[in-house]
Every structure is written in structure tokens, then in C-alpha cells.
Structure 1
Amino acid sequence: MARLNVPYDFSFELIALLSSKKPHKLAWEINRIFGFSLIRTVDICLNFDKEFDMYFINYLYKTDHLSVRLIKNKSVSDMENPGGFLLPELNQYDYFLIVEDFSEELTSEYIADILRNLQGIEHLLQVEADNLKNKENLLF
């Protein structure tokens, strides 16, 4: 049986954030600093196993030339769904900021420099999505 190999596009900026802030407070701070309007949208659902799905808190700001997404790394857990991580290899980070700037005005270096000074961000890491073991989890 032949397999279909489809190359995925990971041409976005990915910044991992270590922060104890609640998701809505972090989204508000990012909105305030960058002039975005990150709004909580439907949680991202990933089916890791036939027995359970994992849901991840998701904030999105989208224009014609820019897409910014703030995602909580740890899934929302309850009695039916055990907790897990969107990117287990980066389980020490609380959030991911994914930026797709088609005008190429926002770079991860620029965003990281500003976020480093944000109170409540203990650490951040600029990540090459292509090098991640579970990079397919970022395709939604």
C-alpha cells in the first residue's frame, strides 16, 4: 500500500513561555503591549488516543496578514480526560505563542525582546518547530 507524504508548513514563529499568569491575564498583557486583540476561541481538541481527547485553551488574533495564537501547553483535565501536554518535550513551559506574519514585520526576536520585560514571564524560549518531536501537534 502506498503512503501519501505531505510536507507540512512550519513557517511560523514559536515562542515557549514560562509564566504563572492565568491565560486571560497573559492574553490581556500581550494585547496591551502589542495592540492585538487576542480573544479566547474554542479550545483546541487533539485526539491522542481512541479513548480520550485532550483540550487546550486557545486565544486567537487574526488579520489579513497576521495570525497570533496563545495556547496553554497543559490540557484542560477532568475526570474523563487525563491531563497532558501539547508538546511533551517542552513540558516545563506553560504557554506557546505562535505568530504567522505574512508581511514579515514581526520577528520572534522582536517579540521575545518585548516579552522578556513583561512582568510574570519567568523565562521564554524561541523554538524551531521543525526540530520538535511532536511538531504535528501544532497543526490545527
Structure 2
Amino acid sequence: MAIHKLDLGEFDEVDYFLIAIHTSLEDYRLAYFINQKLPINLAKSKEEVQINIKEGETNFTRFYHFDSENTISWNLIQNKNEVLQQKAANSDDLFSNVAMEISTKVFLLPEFKKADYFLKIENTDDTINVSEIKTLLNSIDNVSTVYAVDTNQIKSKNNLIF
């Protein structure tokens, strides 16, 4: 009988580039400007990225494009969102019947709280010039900073699996 061994290190390989984007633009406007600058056609995906935390669950918007010619997936993902919680007041006064709504800020990648969006480029075989993409993204009005994220520094990599 043959023995098969699996090396779990093979599953930890990173086959994507991650670019952080700092901007005040709304997600649909940023996707529009990226489509103008890059030869891709990002469209809003019905499958949002869902994150569960102790305060509740939240969904991050996602824009997606699959380049079938080069078999490359492009994802524009929101990094910041909010979770709303309903809390009842515990006091016996005039406002005791009022339910309070508490908002908690949630991040897709908490290590990069200042980044507004991430551009995830998957299945690249070194055919993508990341520095050229960063230059093109930096040329968009209202984009303040664009930089490549070192994927080894990401502690919450499971949030990028979708």
C-alpha cells in the first residue's frame, strides 16, 4: 500500500499581488477610473466579501474582472465598512424605551487601516508589471497614495480568500 504525503507549505504559496489604494472616491467611481487607465473592465460583483466578527457580520463591496486571455483575476475590494448593533438602554428614565444603534468600524485587513481599497491581482506568472500599474493608479485624480503590500506581512490572509 502506497503512502501519500501532503506538504502543507504548498498551500501557503501566494500567487497574487496586492496593491493598497488611498482615496476619497466612492467604490464605483474608483472602478470606473481604473477601467479607463488599465486594460480591464471591472464590474460590481454580486458576491461580496463577508467577514464575521464578534460585533456581527459585514460585507465588503467587490468589483471583479477575469482576463480570459491571460487567465488573470482582478478584484477591487473595499477595506473599510461598519457593523451596526442595536442596544437597548438599561436605565429607568425618560429615554428608557429608546434603542441605541452603535456603529463599529471594521477592516478587511486590520493591519492596513489607512488603506481604503485593495486591488488584488490573482494568477500572475510575472507577466504583470506592478510598478507600471501603480504609476497608472497614482495618475487618477483624488487618489493620494498607491503602494504594493508585502503579502508576508498580512496576518489576516484568510480574509482575502474569496
What's the TM-score bracket when you normalise by the shorter of the two chains?
0.7 to 0.9
Q: Does 1:71 align with 2:62?
A: no
Task: State which structure, 1 or 2, has the greater radius of gyration over its C-alpha atoms.
Answer: 2
In the alignment, the residues of structure 2 paired with residue 61 and residue 84 of structure 1 have an alpha-carbon distance, to the nearest angstrom, of 25
- Please list every run of at least 4 consecutive aligned residues from structure 1 whose deviation after the TM superposition is greater than 6 angstroms: none
Unaligned runs of 5+ in 2: 1-6, 87-102
Unaligned runs of 5+ in 1: none
Give the superposition deviation at 1:9: 3.3
Change beyond 3 A, Cα 1:127–1:94: same
The question of whether the paired residues in 1 share the 8 Å contact of 2:43 and 2:63 is answered with: yes
Give the superposition deviation at 1:53: 1.6
Q: Does 1:132 align with 2:137?
A: no
Change beyond 3 A, Cα 1:15–1:102: closer
Letter paired with 1:46: I
TM-score (norm 1): 0.85
In the alignment, the residues of structure 1 paired with residue 124 and residue 134 of structure 2 have an alpha-carbon distance, to the nearest angstrom, of 18
Within 5 A, what are the aligned runs for 1:1-140? 5=8, 7-41=11-45, 42-49=47-54, 52-64=56-68, 65-79=71-85, 82-140=104-162
Give the superposition deviation at 1:96: 0.3
RMSD (Å), alpha carbons: 2.2
In the alignment, the residues of structure 2 paired with residue 108 and residue 76 of structure 1 have an alpha-carbon distance, to the nearest angstrom, of 30
Letter paired with 2:22: L
Aligned pair count? 136
Give the superposition deviation at 1:101: 4.6
Q: Percent identity?
A: 26
Richer in strand (by share): 2
In the alignment, the residues of structure 2 paired with residue 87 and residue 102 of structure 1 have an alpha-carbon distance, to the nearest angstrom, of 22
In the alignment, the residues of structure 2 paired with residue 35 and residue 116 of structure 1 have an alpha-carbon distance, to the nearest angstrom, of 16
In the alignment, the residues of structure 2 paired with residue 44 and residue 132 of structure 1 have an alpha-carbon distance, to the nearest angstrom, of 17
Letter paired with 1:90: F
